[in-house]
Structure 1
Amino acid sequence: MWPAIFGATNVVALAGWIILLALPRRPFALAGVLYLGIGLLSLIYAVLLVLLATGSVDGLHDAGAAPFDLANFSLSAIRSSFHSDGVVVLGWTHYLAFDLFVGLWIARDADAKGFPRLAQAPVLIATFLAGPFGLLVWLAVRERRARVSGRWR
């Protein structure tokens, strides 16, 4: 079950990234990324979170690993939680949803500020591969144009 969910979430996210990188940014395409990409990944995440937190599904813990505990945010508890296929898929889905959301925001912001698609591509790829790094690059790149145009949004 976990490998199938993992694979499905990767396909959903990859489709969203392909739309952002390669297709014209029409309202329908952007809505697809938002609702069919980010929305679907967020729904999968929410369902998995509830199922794992309530013990309704087995996260397939390694022998001797502590069960998933939402209330314990210590480093050892989080490390122990990731000894579960279910929690790894949950965490990966979290990354996919948020990185795609950030990519969508970058693409829309870059379009609004007049950045050519070719200049956006490296930032979007960086966000796809290493979310916060790509976001940091975009924040640095956009700042000057945002300041010049007086548009901080």
Structure 2
Amino acid sequence: MQQADFVFSVANWIVMAGWAALLLAPLRREALVMAARFASAAVCAIYLLLLARGLIAGPGLPEGAGFGTLDGVVALLSRREAMLAGWVHFLAFDLFVGSWMAEDAPRAGVPHWLLVPLLALTLMAGPVGLLLHLLAAAVARARR
């Protein structure tokens, strides 16, 4: 197994533990949300190491790479190591957003049975899950 594949697997397992904690949140919400945030922070640390390694020891940016155009982003992510860093970035942020949703749900009046599919959507399609949580929370608050 290559080092990048190992990092990919480790980051995925850490994040899955965090998502599992959020699914169990009603049992001990505060502690389980903190566990998910710890998992997110651990994956953020992995991202930092990947980013530093790429900037310091990497071969430099591919020709045309940058954030100013879609082609520039495609070039930026054209290397396997850059794609890994991008994936880890998604993992960390989606889990943190999920932890915020699990923390916010009781205050907003969103029941856990509704939060669970919203968390699944956040895991698979981050902004969609967040948007639907915001809508569910707005409806629940309006009903109160």
Q: TM-score, normalised by structure 2?
A: 0.86
- Runs of 4+ with deviation above 4 angstroms: none
Relative to its length, the structure with more helix (as a share) is 2
The percentage of counterpart residues that share the same residue type is 30
- Paired residues, what number? 141
Residue matched to 1:111: 106
Distance 2:59 2:22 in 1: 35
Instruction: Please give the root-mean-square deviation of Cα atoms over the aligned residues, in Å.
Output: 2.2
Are the equivalent residues in 2 in contact too, given 1:49–1:90 (CA < 8 A)? Answer: yes
Deviations 1:87-108 (A, max 9, x none): 1110001100110011011111
Q: Are residue 16 (structure 1) and residue 18 (structure 2) matched?
A: yes
Structure 2 residue 86 is matched with structure 1 residue 91: yes
Are 2:38 and 1:43 aligned?
A: no
Partner residue of 2:5?
Answer: 3
TM-score (norm 1): 0.81
CA distance, structure 2, for counterparts of residue 68 and residue 105 of structure 1: 36
Superposition deviation, residue 68 in structure 1: 9.2
Deviations 1:1-22 (A, max 9, x none): 1111111110011111011013
**For structure 1, which runs of at least 5 residues remain unmatched after alignment?**
60-64
* 1:67 CA drift (Å): 6.1
Structure 2 alignment gaps of length 5 or more: none
Deviation at 1:109, TM superposition (A): 0.6
| Letter of the 2:62 counterpart | A
Letter in 2 for 1:8: V
